[in-house]
Amino acid sequence: MISACAVALRAGARRSVRRLPNRSRLLPAAAAAAARHPRSFSSSAARSTDLTTRGMIVQTLSSVGSKREVQQYLSLFTSVSSQRFAVIKVGGAILTDHIDELCSSLAFLSTVGLSPVIVHGAGPQLNSLLEQAGIEPQFEEGIRITDAKTLRVARDLFLQENLNLVNKLEEKGVRAQPLTTGMFRADYLDKEKWGFVGKVTGVNKQSIETAINNGYLPILTSMAETDDGQILNVNADVAAAELARALEPLKVVYLSEKGGLTDASGQKISAINLDEEYDHLMSQEWVRYGTRLKIKEIKELLDTLPRTTSVAIIHPGDLQKELFTDSGAGTLIRRGSKLLSAEKIPDFKDLDKVKSVLIRDREGPDAEVTVEKYLDFLGENPFKAYYDGPMNALAIVLPASNGRQATLATLSITKPGWLTNVADNIFTTLKKEHPSLVWTVKEDDENLGWFFDKAEGSITRNGDVMFWYGIESGDEIVKAMLGDSNLESRLHRAAIKAHNSSTSKPVLQQARGYSTLARRPILPTPVFAHTMGRGYVTQTNPNPPYGKKNASKSGPARVALIGARGFTGQELIRLLDTHPNMDLCHVSSRELNGQKLEGYNKREVVYENLSPEDVRDMEKRGEIDCWVMALPNGVCKPFVEAVYEGRKASNHKSVIVDLSADYRFDNSWTYGLPELVQRAEIADATQISNPGCYATAAQLGIAPLMEHSGGMPHIFGISGYSGAGTKPSPKNDVDNLADNLIPYSLTGHIHEREVSSQLGTEVAFVPHVASWFRGIHHTISIPLNKTMTSRDIRQIYQDRYAGEKLVKVVGEAPLVKNISGKHGVEIGGFEVDKSGKRVVVCATIDNLLKGAATQCLQNMNLALGYAEYEGIPSKMIDLPVDHGSLAHILPVSWKTQIAAWLAEDTPSFDVGGFVVGAAPRTATLWGKSPGILAGAPFFDEVFAQCGCAVAWHAREGAHVETHGSGGKVALATVSGPACGLLEGERVALNILARCSGVATVSRRLLVNLRSAGYKGVLAGTRKTTPGFRLVEKYGMLVGGADTHRMDLSTMTMLKDNHVWSRGSITKAVKAAKAAGGFSLKIEVEVQSEAEADEAIAAGADIVMLDNFTGDGVKVAARSLRERWAGKREFLIEVSGGLTVDNAESYICNDVDVLSTSSIHQGVKHVDFSLKINVDEGQGPEVSSQAQDVGRGTESTDGRPSTQT
């Protein structure tokens, strides 16, 4: 029998992209019973495929597997050039008995844009014809002896069979091209022995590529020609193999009536991993004759092809199931990866490679030391390691002993390791060798669902999910965690040894998130509540996120944004700008028609004024993959109906995401709250209603306690004024909101109805508007149906939201200032009254991000087939401004500098001040262009020295939200004598404009670098403006960039002039160290690796690779890291030639610092103005454009619309 490993590996061996398990939905059925609208797969631009038919085919293929499986494999197969999809060998018996099934299957593939290369034989038909002609077929060593008569019959037969197949395909609407001559070059195999039998020496790829590029399916015969034109017979299997060697396809398919290889019991073999199983198979009694030869030949073929190529032996009727499902239908044969093992350190043949594996993706300068200590620990303790040859995967298990459970201490897997299924192979081996196993994964791991698949139980504590299998009772794990066994203490001791008593970072923590740790947290001893699923199993999140392994699409998606002038539209535009796949093609706004779209840098986009008729025609032509309706309530219906009309004419089904409340109560639309609605439903939807911001935070704050609720929840909500409508009213008048809180729509608010509808129970919601610009706080009182503790309740929330990157459960009540500008929801408080029957839960959300734009992007990602969090910053950028007021970092001289600037501006008489006099006035600071607000302390001090006071309505570091010329937003109110307001106006505005400009460019580049995967520091340079350096460096800090050096005394940089003056790098470094002492860092600018080596050897703390190319940086940085590993600690900086536009080409996480002057030299200023208010207590009238800035449009019943 074939090994159990191969059978168990079948599903894993098929998966190029992993699907997360389908888990039950938390909310009641009443909350989401809906008719869903499946969407069609969006074809790659490189494939010319009719979108209508393609969508229908995807739908049809879903009958053999899930739509996600189909789309995943389509994405994989369309990721390579057309001729590299598959080579399909068709035997003569298939042409005779199964030609209809074959042609139907090929028609499917052709219609969805896949172009296999077909090569056929006709052996059985040839035998029959030869017998009819009185010619006895002769074989030698299994090869047909071909004389002149046989060759003549074979040639005529092959041409006829080729034409028959082409005609059958044409009847089914498939354009097929017969390629019957000149496709294979050959020499005689052995003319004396076999006659006119060829050995293939070359393949004419150009004719195949031309046929495919012209839209034809190439149909080849197994006939070859010599250089002088003699036709030779070639075995069809041999021809297919040589064709595969030339094209290097993803799949080589042999169609067989048997549908696959069978084992000794006659059961079909599902999968064979040759590297692991070949020797074992060939030693088996039942592997003989044709089966033995076939396996041997396939191994010889695959040994010459990339590891990504696999062979499938299947029945023609099962072609779709084989190609588009994880379970497959025939026999899948691939090289796989042979697993090696080690039980002691010397067993590793290349210890340096092991170290590099353990250190990859680990952050921090202590990585090498930590790895050394970890290896020391392994050298003193029993372990078993499992790894493949290229070390794309490494697992280390601490074995079971003395009642302790076996523990998976390390699992490090690269992307190729996932894609070639080494991860599945390793886990299958682990389950074979370890009957029970325990391991831990971070709860925000993007592949959490994969680990759920491998486990039989799990429990979540303190940000980690502990998984296990093979344990009879979950109580064993609980006891171990509570101290009844020493599992945790053992793991903790291992961590201590591996970390040298460091508790700041787990051993071998990897940024990718698909590693387990050698340290386990010491967990507290609360009641383990909220168990779900299989008996003892503690199931955490029943609806885990869709990570990158779940993505079914990698190409671009075309997006149109209808109604883009508001704050939500601008936030969405910023997110789309850094998304690797979203292509914003059209932006529609009646008011901004003709203006250039600001804040989108992938291409130049100009605002349009699209009508419903335009939308209909664009949908009919299949031009858009996703429509985002960012319109006020009650406005988008004509546009949605236009999309419907376009679908009728072409059957093209794009995705619609509506940000208004128009379809939140329509069961034919999918409600897009991924944390609570089954993600599979959203992934299959074509029309999604984005939840309201109040409603999102309220539902997430209530849902985990629904089964424990004892009555109506009451929600006291407060929002910043960005969600209070755009028509001038007391609710968005910043002066009226100062020191004030305004309630509105006290009963029947639309979000009260929305939350009640989705949760399936009535809630009471009372909204208020406060003086801040953005951010919502909910205080939610929930009656309980039983006595509970605060700890119990918090644990329920942690378990329910395990793995949710955009939901953070905290202990204390969350604050609005901590959530503003961030892409998630924070839930905390969990105060239980003395009776234990009522809890108060607090939740905060940024109403423009997770309350609108971020949530919209989540839904777009899911529905379009991308990873759910693609384009959403995976973790918040750690900004200095988040840690406190940066005014405290300014030197004692800064106020003197401001006095000098004021004196320079008004060195003599101030006639303008005389004109306005000293009457008390207020003025409004208006933001007039988008950017990061920076320089508030300078602004405050300018006016303080002019006898005025400033009251801010926006937080420093926040984004100034405007849209187009004429739009503006109130940022601060300045009070004081009129002459003082005008005296300080220009100096204050100049500082603010310059400082904010620097912060804006710094933040934008930092976000782009983080989105592209860079983990190091972005820094400026010394090329700052004399006299204004303080302001520019302050702007860098607010933007999130490093100032590089505060001044010359904070670090010594040795450049070419220093080195030339001293004579060598070594002498310059020694001189600097002698004078600077131990506390002063030394940086050396170098032009080559040799100079870097000299600087490091001399004791430099930092080497700057100056004016290297992007590729040169990556090579040099890696080389330096490897050469000096374990010898010297140093940082690598890259500078020279870096700009905002090309910085991403230098990204390499061997580099610690990227420094560029482009974030502070020549940057565009942010535009501000200061206007004295016309009447005391009343600001100037704002244009309609300015009034529309991101606040939505208030509906007639007083309820805020889209933006709330």
Q: Which residues are catalytic?
A: 693
**Distance, CA of 52 to CA of 656 (rounded, Å):** 17
Distance between CA atoms of 191 and 657, rounded to whole angstroms? 68
Residue pair 439/407 in contact by the 8 Å Cβ criterion: yes
Q: Is the dihedral of CA 748, 754, 760, 761 positive or negative?
A: negative
Query: How is residue 789 annotated by DSSP?
Result: -
- DSSP letter at 655 equals E
Q: How many residues does the chain have?
A: 1204
Helix (H) or strand (E) holding 60: helix 51-61
CA nearest to 518, candidates 546, 544, 499: 499
**Residue 714 three-state SS:** strand
Name the nearest CA neighbour of 113 among 74, 67, 158: 74
Query: Which run of H or of E encompasses 1094?
Result: helix 1089-1098
Q: Are 1092 and 1120 in contact (CB under 8 A)?
A: yes
Is residue 544 within 8 Å of residue 803, measured between CB atoms?
Answer: yes
Q: Is 463 left (phi over 0), alpha (psi -120 to 50) or beta?
A: left
Identify residue 574 by its one-letter amino acid code. Answer: R
The sign of the dihedral angle between the CA atoms of 26, 31, 33, 34 is negative
In angstroms, the CA 1012 to CA 510 distance is 17
Phi-psi region of 636 (alpha: psi -120 to 50; beta: other; left: phi over 0): alpha
Instruction: Give the distance, in angstroms, between the CA of residue 1193 and the centroid of all CA atoms in the same chain.
Output: 33
Handedness of CA 939, 944, 947, 948 (dihedral sign): positive
**């047909």: which residue's tokens?**
144
Q: How far apart are the first and last CA of the chain?
A: 63
Q: How far apart are CA 542 and CA 528, in angstroms?
A: 17
893: exposed, middle or buried (Cβ count in 10 Å: 0-12, 13-18, 19+): exposed
- Strands 969-977, 959-960: pairing kind: unpaired
For the beta carbon of residue 364, count every other beta carbon within 10 angstroms: 13
Rounded Cα distance between 232 and 182, Å, is 11
The answer to whether residues 555 and 621 touch, using CB atoms and an 8 Å cutoff, is no
Q: CB 738: neighbour CB atoms within 10 A?
A: 11
Strand partners for 200: 186
Q: Are 1069 and 1087 in contact (CB under 8 A)?
A: no
CA angle 1070, 1071, 1075 (to 5 degrees): 115
Question: What residues contact residue 929 under an 8 Å CB cut-off, 6+ apart?
Answer: 598, 960, 962, 1166, 1167
